[in-house]
Amino acid sequence: MKKAVVVFSGGQDSTTCLVQALKEFDEVHAITFDYGQRHKLEIEVAQSLAKELGVAAHKVMDVGLLNELAISSLTRDDIPVSHELQENGLPNSFVPGRNILFLTLAGIYAYQIGATAVITGVCETDFSGYPDCRNDFVKAMNNAMVQGMDRDFEIQTPLMWLDKAETWALADQYDALQLVREKTLTCYNGIIGDGCGDCPSCELRKVGLNSYLGDRETIMAQLVRKQTQEDK
């Protein structure tokens, strides 16, 4: 039996990954992290979606220690999310160490249930500039986890080389476009669906959606070509 663990926030990207995983694996588990993030609503959204989509199990893990250590606009209510980059060139919404911690814990969970894959929605094609969303980082984490646990499993990143328009196409490919559009929470200001329309996350999501809706046939063809190339 093929099992997978999906790192699941209830946002556009992780929901799209979850929908795909449910088609490709025999048993899918979702893991969501409560790290004292700006909007607790995303945990409720993740719980609702996991139930609706019928995952085998959904674990919500308290990792509040991350909130104590990592200062970010996503961990501090008194720091507004900014469109401007910090002196280090990163957005102030970057939470240092977040994906290191999340992937490590998801890997431990996968080890315990005998899953062969940990799936995450990180992407470096259309992304917020977070260093822990890059392919090199994921490969390094995968290698460290395999070495450290002596277990041959793979961190899969279905969205890594897709732009946001192609990510919408992927959701549509699995008949989940409306579900992802209406029921996920990507907005940094905590508004479900199309969001506030102004924060960096909403802007990226909106541009991708408008691009896809404006030329579905072309973008779906682009997605299929990329999928075909990956299969070779």
Annotated binding-site ranges: 8-18, 187, 196, 199, 202
Report the 10 Å Cβ neighbour count for 130. 19
β-strands 154-156, 57-62: how paired? unpaired
Are 184 and 15 in contact by the 8 Å Cβ rule? The answer is yes
Rounded Cα gap, residues 143 and 29, in angstroms: 22
Q: Which two three-digit tokens encode residue 46?
A: 């993740």
- Residue closest to 25 by CA, chosen among 139, 114, 100: 114
**Sheet with strand 3-7: strands edge to edge:** 57-62, 27-34, 3-7, 117-119, 154-156
Binding site, annotated residues for Zn(2+): 187, 196, 199, 202
Binding site per annotation, positions for ATP: 8-18
Alpha helices in 77-192 (DSSP H): 98-113, 135-149, 164-173, 177-183
Tokens standing for residue 110: 């996968």
